[in-house]
Every structure is written in C-alpha cells, then in structure tokens.
Structure 1
C-alpha cells in the first residue's frame, strides 16, 4: 500500500452517505462505536489522572503542573490512537476504487456525527415535560451534565435547547468541517478532542459515571484548551448558519455569545436564542437574549426544524470545502 492523497470528490461524496446512514440507522452498537471506545480510554485514564475527593490532601487552590502535563500526554496518546486508526483505514479505502471508497468513508464518518440521536433526545425531553416536570428533568439528565433536580419546567426546556444548539456544532457540523479539511483523521481527532473536553475539561470538581468526585482544574486543562482551538471556527460558522440571512441579528451575536464562560458554545446558543426570539439561560451563570420571553413548548419543534436546515446547509458547505480543497 502506498501513501496517496484523498481525492477531494471522495470526501464530498462521503458526506451525504454518512448523513443518510445516520438518518436510516442512527448510532451503531456500543461495541462498534469509536466514540464509545474514546470514552472508555478517557474514563480509565481519568481515574488515574484526576485526584479523587477524600483521597490525599485537597487539590483546591494549588497549582498542579505535573497533573496538567500528564493530562496533555494522555490526551496526546489518545489522539494519536484515534488518528492512527483512521488514517490507515482511509488509505486502504481510497485504493479500492471510487464507489467502495465513498461508501467506506461515509460508513466510517457516520459514528463521528450524531444528528438523529441529538434530534430525538431533544424531542424526548419535550415529550417527557408534557407528562410532568419530574419526567422532563429525568429525561434531560440523559442529555446534559448539569444538576437537573431543581430546574423549573422553563429551565428544563431552556437547557434542552441550549444542548441542541451546542451539540449541533459539536456532534454534527464541526466533525463535518474537520472531515472536509483533513479527511477521516481530522474528524476522528475532533471527536476525540470534544469527548475529552466533555469528560476532562471541567474547571473544578465533577462527579464521574462511577459515582466518585474528581478534581479536573489542572488534569483537564489541556483537553479543554484543545477543544477550544478545534471548535473555534466551526462554532462561529454554526452560529451564522443558525442566524441565516438576517443581518439585523448578526450585530448582537458577539456580545451575547461572550456571556457564557466557554469561548465557543455561546455562539450557537446565542444564535438560536436570537433566531427564535427567546431567552436561554443557565441559572447563576448566563442569560442569553435577556429581553426576550422564555421558550414555550412550540419553540422546541421550531428549533429542531431550524437545526435540520442548518445541518443540510452545513453538509453542502462541507462538501464544497472538501471538493475544492487544493491539498
């Protein structure tokens, strides 16, 4: 096997294949899902990396450069594994001919994006909220990492819409962008970085899936910064696509986006709030489009339909970028 560049049209044609597979079949089984594999690695490494509450001296308020360095090294090992698996698979596919290459690339790209699952989870929160507040909170807990036990019905809906807009970038448009730029290795690297940020990039104490509290302020610093860098441009593209041809809304976007602690997630969230003319807030942290009314039940299907159109537009742009790239 020899090293060869990926023909640009292969990348462009693989995008609709991946989205069609996503629409028809959704997520692959966990044992075959590369993002699940990434999560297993990050979970095991994290148990060694981040200090556990009640074990040893408290890590709060102390500089811990060694844990920061260890986090960077373990991140790099995982990223190298993700790229190191994706690159030879891509090389093997492009030597099989156009049809096999396009179908294979689309098949391998599909697990790195998740529009159908995101859409259905947000719909499920709204359906559960129609039954009861407790049901809405319980369903929202599948979608977000924040404490949902004290959220009102309005706050449950706001949180679901915020997650919809944020993950529209993280789980769909950003992987498509990096696939167009750097092929399957680019999409795999981005998904690893985003998963690492979700699991390690917390600025303080966080409860793990196994129940223990761990301190991530230093151990997860590299993971958080890497995701910030890789998400910077896609998040802003996602925001502009959400606003569409409404230049009157563009001027207010940067100020609203800067209300959130994250340098990136505020952009699609603020764009959705402005486009729907609703307020989106996380209690005690930020309020986006504060002069607007709170979202109601009818705003959820409107938001999902809007995001569906953005997925289509983003796919077309990624196809154009992939087909037109000069390298």
Structure 2
C-alpha cells in the first residue's frame, strides 16, 4: 500500500473541475455489481449480510491493490490515485444538487423542489413546505460533506487506492441496503454498522475543518450539540454547519411514513433559502482545506 498525496490533491482538483462523469460512473458500476450479488446472497439474516458486505468490500480492496501494482512508478501511481480519487469523490455533485434545490426554492417552485429532494436524501418530501425543504437541503449538504469528500480523502490518505475504493464500497452498500425496514433490518445490519465505523473519525475531522474554516461559533455548537443527533456521525457535521451558518437545524423528519423528532442543534434562526448557497460554499471550502492538510503532510 502506497499513498500519493499529490494524487489525492489532483483528484480533488479534477472533481472540482469536472464533477461526476455523466456516463459510465465507476460507483454506479459497483452498484450494479452489488445488486447482482444481492440476488444471490440475500437472506433475512445478519450473517448473510456480513458475507455480502465482506465479499464486495474485500473485492474493492483487491481491485485497489491491483491498480497500485500496475501503477508502479511515482508518476503512474500519482495519476492512478488521482483518477480513483476523482471517481470516488462526490463533493462537486453534492454542491450542484444543493444549488439546483436553491434555484427551485428561490423561484418558489415547491413541486420541482419536492421532486428533486430524493437526489439528496431519503426524507419524505410530500408534506414539506419551503422551510422544511430548505432545512433538509442544508442538513444533507452538511452530513454528506463528510461522506462525499472528507471520508474518502481520509481513507485515501490512510490506505491509498485500496482505502479509497473500500470506503466508497462501504458507503455505497449502506446507501443500498442499510435501512431499517422489513427487507433490510437484518441483511443490511452489517453495511450500516460498518458505515458508522468507517465514518466515525472522518465525521469528526469534518466538524473540525468546518470550525477551522468558519470560527468559534462552529466549535461551540459542535462541542455542545454534536452528540445530540441519533447518528453517531451526522450530528457532528450538522452541528458544526449550524454553528458556522448561524442557523438552527434538527426537528421533525419523516422517512417513508416513519417520523423522527430530532433534537435541535444551534442557537440561530431557522435556515433560509440563501443559507443553501452558503452551505454549498462552506462544503467546498472544507474539501479544499482537507486537500491542503494532505498536501502539507506529504
């Protein structure tokens, strides 16, 4: 295992310039492979879910090892790392989705905003007004700054190309099967728990970087409110963003008929539409700050 700081930083630049590929996205390809594997391995038990996750995550790691063995020289390894980093990062696409939602809400097109929200989160958009949609977007940008950008960079810095691919595999499997419903309550348990584990450190790094980029308000809310969220990781990101933006996040959310009342984080007003653009800019700044840290440690 080798780590190329130059490759990771170049991958961040490529993601900022290009975003996700329109066709033949490698993560989408992995998702198709995972869907086929689910048909063969699914069973309503935890151990089957463990096998499913193990096969796919180890397979992703093996692919990463193979890429590093082929890319032997420093330049080749750096370029391979950059390409894989670009493939697994999603920060630019996250920001673009946030801006699409901002435009819909700025012109008062709530139906278009409700139709688009599932691109960002699993929250039921049907009963959401403009305020509810705005809060959902800000919270999603905050939480996914870690999942889309900081966590893959962290694991790339720790584990090179295998670390990048294994992280994205875990995160993708959680998005596919990590749900508490009749089909995935047991089968998706391993994916959900492993995703919590691999995001534990990156979520806290994300909160720290948000505070570093924005000031003491984010630190204060992060330390005070970050543990209130039912997720062991999302709360750190959302609390830091709440403090940085001077808004109040949390409240009642509905997911496919299941209602959750979450504690509020932050001391400010309810988020407004203009805060979506602020959140997107902050998310980008945090990603570039992470790249700067990686570069400084090379």
Output aligned runs, 1:61-72, within 5 Å. Answer: 67-72=45-50
Match of 1:211 in 2: none
Q: CA RMSD in A?
A: 2.0
Contact 2:221–2:265 (CA under 8 A) maintained in structure 1: no
Match of 1:241 in 2: 209
Counterparts of 2:40 and 2:136 in 1: how far apart (Å)? 31
Q: Which moved more, 1:274-283 or 1:161-170?
A: 274-283
Contact 2:243–2:266 (CA under 8 A) maintained in structure 1: no
Match of 1:28 in 2: 21
Match among 246, 249, 255 for residue 277 of structure 1: 246
Contact 1:165–1:272 (CA under 8 A) maintained in structure 2: yes
* TM, length-normalised to structure 2: 0.90
Contact 2:6–2:295 (CA under 8 A) maintained in structure 1: yes
Counterparts of 1:320 and 1:80 in 2: how far apart (Å)? 31
Residue 310 in structure 1 maps to residue 278 in structure 2 = no
Counterparts of 1:302 and 1:44 in 2: how far apart (Å)? 40
Match of 1:58 in 2: none
Counterparts of 1:98 and 1:48 in 2: how far apart (Å)? 40
Match among 200, 203, 212 for residue 180 of structure 2: 203
List runs of 5+ in structure 1 lacking aligned partners.
Answer: 52-63, 206-214
Output aligned runs, 1:214-225, within 5 Å. Answer: 215-225=183-193
Match of 1:147 in 2: 124
Contact 1:253–1:271 (CA under 8 A) maintained in structure 2: yes
Deviations 1:114-167 (CA, angstroms, capped at 9, x unpaired): 121111000000101123111111121222122111111111111111111111
Match among 126, 130, 135 for residue 102 of structure 2: 126
Tell me how far 1:264 sits from its aligned partner: 0.6
Counterparts of 2:76 and 2:40 in 1: how far apart (Å)? 41
Larger Rg: 1
Output aligned runs, 1:34-183, within 5 Å. Answer: 34-47=26-39, 67-93=45-71, 95=72, 97-131=73-107, 132-183=109-160
Contact 2:219–2:243 (CA under 8 A) maintained in structure 1: no
Contact 1:173–1:311 (CA under 8 A) maintained in structure 2: yes
Q: Which moved more, 1:37-46 or 1:175-184?
A: 37-46
Where does structure 1 differ by over 4 angstroms across 4 or more consecutive aligned residues? 47-51
Output aligned runs, 1:249-260, within 5 Å. Answer: 249-260=218-229
List runs of 5+ in structure 2 lacking aligned partners.
Answer: 253-259
Contact 1:159–1:282 (CA under 8 A) maintained in structure 2: no
Tell me how far 1:30 sits from its aligned partner: 3.9
Match of 2:256 in 1: none
